[in-house]
Amino acid sequence: MPVTPKKPNTNWPPSSLRKNLRLFPKRKIQKNKTKTSLKAKLGVALSEGDKVETGEGSRIELKLYDGSIIRIGENSSMVFEELKEDAGTMTDVSTIKVLFGRIWLNVKKTIGRKQESKIVTPKVTAAVKGTAYRSDVDKEGETNVNVYDGTVNVSKEGQEVTLSKLEQVTSKDLTKNPFDEAGDERDEWVRWNKSRDKLRVAMIFTETKGGAKMTVPTSEITMAEAFLGNYLFSVVDQAQIDKIREGEKLKAALKGDAAAAAAAGLEIGADMVVIGEATTDAIDSGLAGGMITGTANLVAKVIKTDTAEILGVGREPDRKVDLSGDTAVSLALVSTSKKLSAKLIDDIVKKWKEEARKGGTYDISVTNVTFEKLNVLQQVLATIADKNNVEKLAFTSTRALLNMAYVGDSATLAGKIAELEFKGFKVEVVGMTAYKVELEIKENK
């Protein structure tokens, strides 16, 4: 079992790494101090000098105490060479040596400390500055580095290049180049990592001009683009939203019903829904040259789908002037949407960080379950729930939805559930988002 530090560790990386999520088969940890080889399983801690290896079809996810994530892909080998912190000099020092294989890092940026953390491969060194990036190393040591957010300094034989968002470099020539994110996501390893890093957001807006409903809401498109520009979020495909746009739940949501908005969002797998209403008009300003004033007033709220809690709300008016009334209105809409997006994103991030520190409630979706097994599951989950609070929300056929209070993030909760034992059956963690853990009931063999 991992050793609990005497005081909270908020620096990256800490002196030990705690694996926290479901692992796949064919992986092992070679402990440096005891010179023993262990099967990687929930609860194992990594210390300085330990080596991690994965085989075919195997992945490992490690979670640091500050919330940073390291994921290791199949057929990989790496050594955690240096893991220490020096509070006296306000410096973090760490070195992860990647012998070969794939590594993905989503590192929390440390404020007020000099960081000397780095990934070392046989060909290059990548210094971490608080970012999301991956590194692929082949058996000859040739290395590719792709950055998804933040910055990474990559060096080789005295040469150094700084990579920013959506830039990549190879060890062969150390020349940075942009990469196409859509093409990059054809790689299943990339899609899997992004799905674990991001919060899924659904954007649902109505928009009127002079009282007439607009077919394509400019505010919805602009706000979606703003959220996509922040690495924390992914936006639900518009085709999925169109399937529910005329539904009764969504109509109720647009009238201010937060519970209806949450229910509509759950139907399309969103962690949160942004509901908005934009009213616009074009007014002859009477200015010389026939200029038209476009006005826009945007009201929006962010609703968490599992609890219907409102995470953020805002109103933003704006006006722009142009010779064309349509252009003036469009300019005003884009401007107000960008301003309100920035506010809502800030509200969401603050709220999410607060919940991770204080705990919250999480949906537990369960498949292949009977009512009798659901009762057992509820009782066992109560042993790790905050104040033993686990509620049944729904049960239909072999599917059920529970809600439980837990102090910690969903990643930690998923790991705790995977460690529990159930009489007569097994429970497997098959998925996770920021606010939900997905379980499947399996028969004991």
Do 188 and 211 lie in a common domain? no
pLDDT tens-digit readout, 396-411: 778 888 988 887 777 7
Q: Say yes or no: 161 and 206 in one domain.
A: no
Binned at pLDDT 50, 70 and 90, residue 359 comes out as low
From the CB of residue 398, how many other CB atoms can be counted at a distance below 10 Å? 14
Q: Are residues 125 and 167 in the same domain?
A: yes
**Mean pLDDT comparison of 47-51, 198-202, 391-395, highest-scoring range:** 47-51
Place 378 in a pLDDT band, splitting at 50, 70 and 90: very high
- Residue 147, domain extent: 17-193
**Of 214 and 74, which is predicted with more confidence?**
74
pLDDT attached to residue 114: 55
Q: What is the mean pLDDT of the chain?
A: 81
**In this structure, are 243 and 384 located in the same domain?**
no
Q: Give pLDDT tens digits for 90-112.
A: 445 678 899 999 999 887 655 44
Q: Is the per-residue pLDDT at 141 higher than 80?
A: yes
How many CB atoms are closer than 10 A to CB 26? 16
Last residue of one domain, picked from the residues 193, 223, 258: 193
9 within a domain of the structure (yes/no): no
Secondary structure in 3-state letters for the chain = CCCCCCCCCCCCCCCCEEECCCCCCCEEEECCCCCCEEECCCCCEECCCCEEEECCCCCEEEECCCCCEEEECCCCEEEEEEEEEEHHHCEEEEEEEEEEEEEEEECCCCCCCEEEEEEECCCCEEEECCCEEEEEECCCCCEEEEEEECCEEEEECCEEEEECCCEEEECCCCCCEECCHHHHCCCHHHHHHHHHHCEEEEEEEEEEECCEECCCCHHHHHHHHHHHCCCCEEECCHHHHHHHCCCHHHHHHHCCCHHHHHHHHHHCCCCEEEEEEEEEEEEECCCCCCCEEEEEEEEEEEEECCCCCEEEEEEEEEEEEECCHHHHHHHHHHHHHHHHHHHHHHHHHHHHHHHHHHCEEEEEEEECCCHHHHHHHHHHHCCCCHHHCEEEEEEECCEEEEEEEECCCHHHHHHHHHHCCCCCEEEEEEEEECCEEEEEEEECC
| Residues 32 and 150 grouped into a single domain | yes
344 and 369 fall within a common domain = no
Same domain for 379 and 297:
no
pLDDT at 62: 81
Is 36 exposed, middle or buried (CB count within 10 Å of its CB: 0-12, 13-18, 19+)? exposed
Q: Is residue 28 part of a domain?
A: yes
Q: What is the pLDDT of residue 24?
A: 39
Domain count within the chain: 3
Is there a single domain that holds both residue 336 and residue 212? Answer: yes
Strands across the sheet containing 390-396: 390-396, 399-406, 360-367, 436-443, 425-433
pLDDT in tens, 243-261: 777 777 777 877 778 888 8
Among 355, 384, 414, where does a domain finish?
355
* pLDDT surpassing 90 at residue 121: yes
> Mean pLDDT highest for which of 4-13, 104-113, 125-134, 163-172?
163-172
The reply to whether 114 and 161 lie within a common domain is: yes
Q: For residues 390 and 253, state if they share a domain.
A: no
Asked whether residue 233 is domain-assigned, the answer is yes
Q: Say what the pLDDT of residue 13 is.
A: 35
Do 48 and 182 fall within a single domain? Answer: yes
Strands 91-106 and 114-120: parallel
- Last residue of some domain: 296, 328, 355? 355
> Rounded distance, CA 276 to CA 299, Å?
6
